[in-house]
Amino acid sequence: MHNHASLRILIADDEPLIAHLIAQEVVAAGHRVVAKAIDGRNALRLTQELHPDVVLMDISMPEMDGFEASEMIQDHCPTPIVMLTAHAEQDMLAKAADCGAGAYLVKPPEAGEINRALVIAISRHSDIMKLLRMNQELQEALLDVKVLKGLLPICCQCKKIHSENGQWQQVETYVRNHTNAEFTHTYCPTCAKHYFPDAVDEEGHVRQP
């Protein structure tokens, strides 16, 4: 018996007998087979249409192999993928991981092996999705960052800045338009002492009544 919720599984394998045996084990593991794909192109289409929880993807298939199909699935409709292989060769497994597969099974798998692979694939897919979201948020944040650099022509008297569009703007307006900064106005100690000599002390601090 499995200890997690029943999942909707898509099986992609061009050998009907193997696909049937895998489907039996998937059901024995407590899950439901939503469809069987006979090649990679069919697997991509069915994944986009049915949105299964996990795809069990054979590597060697006509039309489009499991590597290409997995890569396209991750590009168009990201889904946890478990690769099905006859031989667990290291270079093949590394390529499967690069294409977006989170786990693998040696055919024909048993129910217990299927459940373990499903848990691993779902967990790894979740981690990848979180990293992608964080990367997207970081990219958006970087686009929002505005940096002032170079020489800024500024009037010696009124302190207005000559902007790139040929207009003279107040410093506050220019900085606000080119950064995410907002201004709050106050008095420095020197100006406070000059304009309010009776209200501030020698250091520019407000006198206590």
pLDDT tens digits along 138-149: 877 766 655 566
Q: Domain count of the chain?
A: 1
Residue 4 has pLDDT above 60, yes or no: no
Q: pLDDT category, 1, cuts 50, 70, 90? A: very low
pLDDT at 159: 80
- Amino acid letter for position 22: I
Which DSSP state fits 178?
A: H
Measured CA to CA in angstroms, residue 183 lies from 170, 174, 205 at distances of 12, 11, 21
Residue 176 lies in a domain: no
**Domain containing residue 114: CATH number:** 3.40.50.2300
Residue 178 lies in a domain: no
Residue 202 lies in a domain: no
- Give me the domain span that covers residue 60: 8-141
pLDDT at 81: 96
pLDDT at 40: 93
Residue 38 lies in a domain: yes
Measured CA to CA in angstroms, residue 196 lies from 25, 185, 208 at distances of 86, 16, 14
Residue 3 has pLDDT above 50, yes or no: no
Residue 191 lies in a domain: no
The whole-model pTM stands at 0.64
Q: Which of 130, 85, 129 is nearest to 109 (CA)?
A: 85
Residue 64 lies in a domain: yes
Residue 82 lies in a domain: yes
Instruction: Copy the structure tokens of residue 108.
Output: 């024909």
pLDDT at 205: 64
Residue 85 lies in a domain: yes
